[in-house]
Structure 1
Amino acid sequence: MRSLLPSLTDLRPVRHSWKTDIVAGVTVGIVALPLALAFGASAGLGPAAGLVTAIVAGFLAAVFGGSNVQVSGPTGAMVVVLAPVVASHGTGAVTVVAILGGLLVVAGGILRLGRFIAMVPWPVIEGFTFGIAIVIALQQVPALLGVHDLEGTTTLNVAWNAVERSTWDQASITLLVAGLVAAVMVLIQWRAPRLPASLIAIAAVTLLTEFADLAAPRIGALPGTLPLPSLPEIDAATLRELLGPAVAVALLAAIESLLSAKVAAGLADTGELNPDRELVGQGIASIGSGLFGGMPATGAIARTAVNVTAGARSRLAAAVHALVLLLIVTTASGLVGRIPLAALAGVLLVVCARMVDREAAIMLARVSRSGLLVFAITAIVTVVFDLIVAIQIGIAIAAVLVLRSLASTTRAEREPLPGDPEPGDERIALFRLDGSAFFGAADKLADQIAAARDIDVVILRMSHLTMLDTTGARRLAELITTLERRGVTVIVKGLQERHRSLASGIGVLDALRDRAHAVDDLATAIEHARSHVRRRVL
């Protein structure tokens, strides 16, 4: 357990990098402010919930997480999961989901599942990222059209209802506000990419709406302090209904956080990543955020990348980022409350556009039809259903395609006997087993060998076999038994040491007529086979 908890070694980098860490923390805090507000509003919890999440979860993850430079807070992927929960059970349910999900993530870290959770195929990651971008964009339709308090079971329904209820008088103003924010952000990112484009765009457009007295709905009053921690009252029936969303939150938080931390580890030499501790830290962050009225948190790839590129080398930077946001809440909540909601929608539209990796999609289309299929199905399921279903289906399809590829490379090829031929060699079938003898290819291997006719001896060259599972071993044992009943002697050559225990336990060696028929070199196998043929001729 000691490796999963903070220690004094976490502070060692601070001695050499505290100046750059503080600068990086301030930079990320400025970048995170509009995103935190936008994600809170988009989830249906209100902008204040996004700020609380960025402050509480950001600080706790910095202290307890397994990465020195990870920045945590509200993210678009989590918004996609939480919006239906808020619509069905209200905002209080999010606290329960955050705590339950956080507990599950902590349990995953304690059980050392960090290294396994991150094993998500690349096309699946790209597919659900693309799907998330579409869902977040659809979630902005009501704010873009100036329509609120809509009903609907899915994001598509809500977006369509917003279009039906919108009027041009109101929509023209909100579309103008969002369009100006997006245009300013794109311009700044093009001409001065180091500047906080989203913050500058929101500040400029907010000033414009104030001076022009535009009738654009605002964020409204924000608390000047953090709320006190509390637990909502909830009955057992509702708790059971929230277990499903809590599992979804836990899986998403674990996957996204570990992916973000791995990206950060590749950007700069910032110390080793402890994936299990990262899960514990992210779980604690979600629990703390939920208690203070926030939403579940994950590692944020974009903010983490900004942190690293700004010079962060220790946990101090992520902690400073949270303190900067806390300072803004306590000193400037009135100003922040005047930001138009449509401006936040404009920020998220630009974020959605940047989430889409066009080069990745083009690359998949060019080099891998199977990868493109996984990408497309994952994206479609993300939009139509939800993220976790999309990840499950994407991984399942990717696994099937991988197994199909493995099966296609698995074969039993009959080879001529090496050296000068001798009388009776035609009665000996030498098969070289290549690839993987697993459940998806075991029958194929067995059928190819069993098809041999007019033979007295079969030699199975197993030294080239890369994988053997229980199904493959069992099928080989059954094949040997069948051949022996037909009067065909089977000799196993080159059974690898890593396969020997499994083959012996499943019965492959017991199926042989004699344990001496398991040999290590080909010359011995051939000589033994020829001796059997000679005895039969005599």
Structure 2
Amino acid sequence: MRALTPRHADYRDLPRSWRGDLVAGITVAVVALPLALGFGVASGLGAAAGLVTAVVAGAVAAVLGGSHLQVSGPTGAMTVVLLPVVARHGTEAVPVVAIMAGGLVVLAGVLGIGRLVAYIPWPVVEGFTLGIGVVIALQQVPLALDTPRAEGENAGLVALRTLARVDWSQAVAPLALVALVVAVLIALPRLHRGLPASLVAVVLGTVVAEVAGLDVDRIGVLPSGLPAPHLPVVDLETTSALFSAALAVAALAALESLLSARVADGMADDLGRTRPNRELLGQGVANIASGLCGGLPATGAIARTAVNVRAGGRTRVASLTHALVLAAIVYAAAPLVGRIPLSVLAAVLLITAGRMIDLPTARAICRSGRSGALVFCVTLAVTVVFDLVMAVEVGVAVAAVLALRAVARSSGLHREPVPDAPGDRVTAAAERDLLHEHIAVYRIDGALFFADVRRFLDELALVSDVRVVVLRLGNVRVLDASGANALAEIVTDLRRRGMVVLLKGLRPEHRHLARSVGVLDALGDERHLFDDLDEALAHARSHVRRDPATTRMG
């Protein structure tokens, strides 16, 4: 539990980075504000719910989370999950779902489930990241054109439908602002890397729109305040009905937060890595706090986290500043912020999305081999066409199947010649050949597991005209229950056909499994288990010599 709690080291770099953290926090707040409002409205709870989520969950996750760079708040993926909940149970059920999901995420962090994200393959992470960049860019099309968003959930289809009905004469002004902001964001870092390019671009775009009197869509009127915290009152029946929704929200919150933090780690290699279990704990408590304040479930937000990194954030003070600035904006600067053109914010997110699309990395993965390229492309496609949770599930599943296939291909069954007995000078050549003719030595390499057991069974089923079969297992690195069961079937089948089976080199870590599944029982005699090949062959020769059929043939 000590590893899951805040520590002094969280702010070790603050004396050097506090100016950049403050600027990054302000920049992220400006970008996050319309997103928080929009996601609140899209979820059905209203703009205030989106704001309280960004403020409360953002602050709690910044302090308690395991990432120095993560920015948390409402996200588009979460609204998709919440819409059916609102339709079935009403808006009052959403804070309850947030609290329940938060409790599940906290439990996952305490149980150490966060470390499982380390098993997500690199092509999946990069495909997910590039796909998110594409989705973020597509989501900005309606805002960049000042055109109402078309109906639909898929970002690509929505962008196409929006383009089909845009009034291009009205879109000139917002597109001019987009071009101005994009130019500033590209040129300013080259002129002076210390300047907050995103913040300067937003201010400049807003000033130009005001001075020129451009007729463009703005953020608009903000809520006048945030709701007070309260404990939702629900009965046991409603809570039971919401559990499945809470489980889905918890899975999405955990997965999106951990992947967002992992992407941020890749964007800032000079900083410490995310502590995944602490990140889950922080996100869980953040969801509980958001629900108590009437907010939405929250996750680590990749777009805002990417803006934070690019704007110069280096400690969790940046994400905490973002939450505090949003709270201050609600009470003090709502009219000024309400004048920011939506096309200006769209331009900021377009550049952020473009920087998430790492083409050199994509090329490197595609050149690494067909398996990596396939996993990368499948994850990218599913992220863009469906959603990020399905993308990770499908990507990991494809990677797992390809990995099992590779392991199975690297495994093999090889028949080896029977070596002469050490120091055997007296056995006649004819007798020696006869002995060797009735002894078969097979070596199994690699893995003996569920993906490949059928092949071993089929190959050994062809063994005939021998009296003793020696199976060398010293090179078997992986043995699962299916493999052990197959080994027991092999031994049973060979013994049923009148052969003696000797096992050599069964690893100590595999012996308990072999005994439990029945491999040793199938041998018929534990003396048929050997650690030394010479001893196994000596035992095999003694069996052949004692076999009456062999004696008659000799």
TM-score range, shorter chain: 0.7 to 0.9
Partner of 1:345: 346
When residues 395 and 12 of structure 1 are mapped into structure 2, their CA distance, relative to the original with a 3 A threshold, is closer
Distance 2:450 2:49 in 1: 49
CA 149–434 in structure 1, closer or farther in 2 if over 3 Å, else same = closer
Question: How many angstroms apart in 1 are the aligned matches of 2:505 and 2:491?
Answer: 16
Task: Tell me if 1:23 matches 2:8.
Answer: no
Distance change in 2, residues 1:44/1:263 (3 Å)? closer
Cross-structure match for 1:387: 388
In structure 2, list runs of 5 or more residues that go unmatched.
Answer: 422-428
**CA distance, structure 1, for counterparts of residue 227 and residue 83 of structure 2:** 20
Q: Which of the residues 293, 296, 299 maps onto 2:295?
A: 293
Counterpart check, 1:73 vs 2:75: no
Q: Is the 8 A contact 2:446 2:475 kept in 1?
A: yes
- 2:301 is the counterpart of 1:302: no
Distance in 1 (alpha carbons) for counterparts of 2:232 and 2:133: 31
Matches within 5 A, 1:36-47: 36-40=32-36, 43=39, 45=41
Equivalent of residue 530 in structure 2, options 500, 519, 526: 519
Q: If you compute each CA radius of gyration, which structure gives the higher value, 1 or 2? A: 2
Give how far 1:165 is off.
3.1
Describe the SS at the equivalent of 1:453. coil
* C-alpha distance in 2 between matches for 1:154 and 1:288: 30
Are the structure 2 counterparts of residues 271 and 366 from structure 1 closer, same or farther at C-alpha, using a change threshold of 3 Å?
closer
C-alpha distance in structure 2 between counterparts of 1:48 and 1:358, whole Å: 38
The alpha-carbon distance between structure 1 residues 245 and 32, as it changes in their structure 2 partners (threshold 3 A), is farther
1:160 to 1:414, Cα distance in 2 relative to 1, 3 A: same
Distance 2:384 2:236 in 1: 31
- Cα deviation, residue 435, structure 1: 0.7
Is residue 455 of structure 2 the alignment partner of residue 444 of structure 1? yes
Counterpart of 1:530 (choices 526, 537, 541) is 541
Q: Deviations over 1:299-352 (max 9, x none)?
A: 655256458x6553xx55543453344344443222111001111111111121
Sort the Cα spacing of 1:358 and 1:264 in 2 relative to 1 into closer, same or farther, 3 A.
Answer: closer
Matched, 1:460 2:471: yes
Q: Secondary structure at the match of 1:509?
A: helix
CA separation of 1:44 and 1:357: change in aligned 2, threshold 3 A: farther
> Which amino acid is the alignment partner of residue 28 of structure 1?
A
Residue pair 1:38, 1:347 contacting (<8 A) in 2 also: no
8 Å Cα contact 2:71-2:300 kept in structure 1: yes
* Rounded Cα–Cα distance in structure 1 between residues aligned with 2:408 and 2:156: 40
Which residue of 2 is the match for residue 496 of structure 1?
507
Aligned residue type for 2:391: A
Change (3 A) 1:271 1:355: closer
| 1:21 CA drift (Å) | 5.3
Q: Which amino acid aligns with 1:390?
A: A
For the pair 1:11 / 2:8, whether they are aligned, the reply is: yes
Q: Could you give the per-residue CA deviations for residues 221-272 of structure 1, whole angstroms, max 9, x where no partner exists? A: 2245444335789999998997666545433432343345456678578668
CA RMSD of aligned residues (A): 3.3
Amino acid at match of 1:468: L
**For 1:130 and 1:44, how far apart are their aligned partners in 2?**
26
Q: Does 1:505 align with 2:516?
A: yes
AA matched with 2:15: K
Q: Is contact 1:128–1:391 with CA below 8 Å preserved after alignment?
A: yes
In 2: Cα distance, 1:163 partner to 1:84 partner: 27
Following superposition, the deviation at residue 462 of structure 1 comes to: 0.7
Change (3 A) 1:122 1:271: closer
TM superposition shift of 1:181 = 1.8
Moved more, 435-444 or 373-382: 373-382
Q: How far apart are 1:484 and its partner, in Å?
A: 0.5
Give the number of equivalent residue pairs: 528
For 1:367, the equivalent position in structure 2 comes to 368
How far is 1:85 from its partner? Answer: 4.4
Give the C-alpha shift of residue 146 in structure 1.
1.7
**Displacement after TM superposition at 1:284 (Å):** 1.4
Aligned partner letter, 2:352: V
Aligned-partner Cα distance in 2 for 1:241–1:21: 47
Aligned to 1:183: 183
Unmatched runs of 5 consecutive residues or more in structure 1 = none
Q: How big is the shift at 1:286?
A: 2.7
Percent of matched pairs sharing the same residue? 45
Q: Does structure 1 residue 82 correspond to structure 2 residue 79?
A: yes
Alignment CA distance shift 1:229-1:161 (3 Å) = farther
Contact 1:436 1:465 in 2 (8 A): yes
Quote how far apart the aligned CAs of 1:483 are.
0.3
Tell me the alpha carbon deviations over residues 69-125 of structure 1, each in whole angstroms, 9 at most, x when there is no partner.
2432247xx324425745994894765554443333222113321112442122222
In structure 2, give the amino acid aligned to 1:302. Answer: A
Tell me the secondary structure at the aligned position of residue 415 of structure 2: strand
Q: 1:519, 1:535 → 2: CA distance?
A: 20
CA contact (8 A) 1:33 1:199 kept: no
| 8 Å contact kept, 2:33–2:326 | no
Mapped pair 1:487 → 2:483? no
8 Å contact 1:22–1:316 — kept in the other structure? yes
Determine the C-alpha separation between the residues in 2 that align with 1:445 and 1:97.
Answer: 50
Matched with 2:102 is 102
Cα distance in structure 2, aligned partners of 1:113 and 1:43:
28
* One-letter amino acid of the structure 2 residue matched with residue 293 of structure 1: G
Further displaced range: 364-373 or 159-168? 159-168
- 1:160 Cα deviation after fit: 3.6
Query: Which segment is superposed worse, 510-519 or 47-56?
Result: 47-56
What displacement does 1:279 show?
Answer: 0.5
Q: 1:248 to 1:262 in 2, by over 3 A?
A: same
1:410 matched to 2:411: yes
C-alpha separation in 1, matches of 2:521 and 2:406: 31
Partner Cα separation in structure 2 for residue 535 and residue 342 of structure 1: 91
Query: Residues 29 and 325 of structure 1 are in contact (CA less than 8 Å); yes or no, is this contact kept in structure 2?
Result: no
TM-score relative to the length of structure 1: 0.87
